[in-house]
Structure 1
């Protein structure tokens, strides 16, 4: 038995990456190519594989460490060697691999000049198989540079950009969005190539049983340079301009998507301009304070003024000198209305929305609510009908899960959590705080959280986390009045419930008219996901729960 050192191989165009996960511990037996640690760059998470099989004797890095090509990861005890050996050379040309250890032939190091068509294939992307193509970053006819990113793939752990191994003009694209690809799969064909690098060779090998000659070892080391896992990329924006793709880790990208933050408008403060979670939060605060506008908000503001509406094929917005008809006063929109306006316009235009109107008998529930508040008046907690509505909606969402879903391209994402948003009226406009995990909370806890969130909304102190993650929204006008209305769906949700002020009405019970307290319900739903029959059943079931709240227990 002997010890060998496992180093970080060539991980592409990165100076340093951060260790974010350990996948083995001291004493574990690992196989060749088994992942040891996960590292994260400014653009992707990657798993570092073992180049040999053996037993982990000592781990040389810790969580949060910065590592790069050649950094020592761990010490491995292997069979068939007599002394400490190097499994992966810290630098490809710096040393010769020991005779008893097979080096890591991932890809050829030196680019070569090639004329004519060249196949570009998926390089070694680590311990991933059948990764999905989620974005194409070039099109036929585009001129690409060596190591320019061509497409983005996504595994169950990370998003990665696949770079070009050559420079030239894209003649044919062999992959499409949704395809599953692996190492060596053909991505596209280039024409007029210069600086092409051969396709990746086999994965790292285990310790060789037979000794190798020095000449062979030197030749192997010279070839031990890995293909880049992810490279800083120019991406093509609409209109033919070229933009730098935002640098952010998959976790930050997910966080930005949840908040609706356009990453290409966020300035990164991390290494090489990397966008951090703090940058996303700071951008959101700036937008909320009115210090900056997103491009979407600016476009909506323009549309409400002098935009010609050409992007939607509309006739020009009317330009009128209102002062010639009489006295006027001009006031700027509040920052909340500026922010919400762009989203409302998009949702109203893009979602094929339909509204069902119904009434729910809440006579008994209102009596129970009043008596509950009287019994608990010393606690200071006041239960509102909206708290009962939230619990009733959770029960209905569980029975009809498509209402608790979101569209993602051609797929439907069914959420296993129940975060309910409720519209809160403030002096500056409408905001939507969110009650998280409403299915796990009682009426009193929901009422308490609603009161706290409503106060923060009135004081202008709601944070991004307070308003993100909703799966379904309730817009209540119960304290104001009205009968029915059509609320706009809050994308990416697929439905929203509008409620108005309840009123006493005569209801026929089969023998006589009885005075009953009726609550108007207006359910707006996305017809791409939900059909009329499902919407009617949802409303009926919701009315049944509100009529007899014991059904929540069923």
Structure 2
């Protein structure tokens, strides 16, 4: 009969811990009081010892798992018994007091997306959760993915804490199904009088304060054996603790055959008084991807920008005249973006190289317009795509942009909705930008920047008048688009916007 090894008492007000290091592996023979693993909390480090002699049959909570008080860590069987596979059936097993265990898995992330990062846990170990309640949020290179609870019950273990990179279909947590199920079991059952197997003798050591984080003992031993300093290792554990695998990576790094990328210039020294008032936050995967792609665009494309200005009075007058009728008939407001999309699709037909892309030594001309519309979100800039925008009317464009914009702000865009764009429009004017040079969205060859509408004096028919003017900026890849083509494109957009009747007559 197997003996359970459970999380011991962690101290007053401490309700959860992280499994830092396993000192025994599956199938190892253990003696009474052998140290099996080490747990870490914000306050203390706890060593868990074997309560009986035998063989380590099952490790339920691997390194990095967040566990609650009295949660099951492992099982020790008789010395002659065959060991189980690591974690196999752990979620399906349940004690009489725990109920059925349900795995929380990484959901489908979209085509070609193989991993994600756990950005936020909205529930902690021991919380009662309802079915479909949001447990955590994952971040991929493009989208945020919400993970709902597959069943009602109690969150008994968090296997992938915040900051963990997980593969598609990986296990994130476990839920003990049923009302009140999975509540941490005390050392002595008060209802039946049955004795719960003790987790064995424990040794509690007070850890260093948060500003002086205590590294895992196994990591300290590994650093001493390898002869490397603590400064040479980057910790990935809680609060920057160095774990055993971090030391292994640091030792292997100098021997890597692949040359490391050129590092950014080191940060200038900061006075201690200023450092104490700073906050360091890891970049999200979305922000890292934005940074990488924008820098790639600068490094690979021969990027140039040409400018013009457009008198918006024609569009504004047309919009004011028909906006109420438009909204009543189509159920959506008539904005400026549909005019810009239509103007660009007309201009792209005349200057098709702006809608093309370079593929090696080939130029790929596209006989369609998939219009990317840049949208600012709390997580960063995303570019959902209005497909076949050249075949859509004003109402269809406005409805699609409104739908994609809402989904972008809610973090619910799919990968498919942000791929395949052939040209992009970015509206910095909504934030008050008067003039800017947009960066290409590779592999596209053109991007139009809209800006703030501002009343300015202009000369019309020899008279100085006040008109609502907007600066337009077209950034383009000079490898494929010549200056003549770029200027022609922007002039055609200007003409269509200043005389919207041209759009209706396909001129």
> With structure 2 as the length reference, what TM-score do the two structures score?
0.49
> With structure 1 as the length reference, what TM-score do the two structures score?
0.45
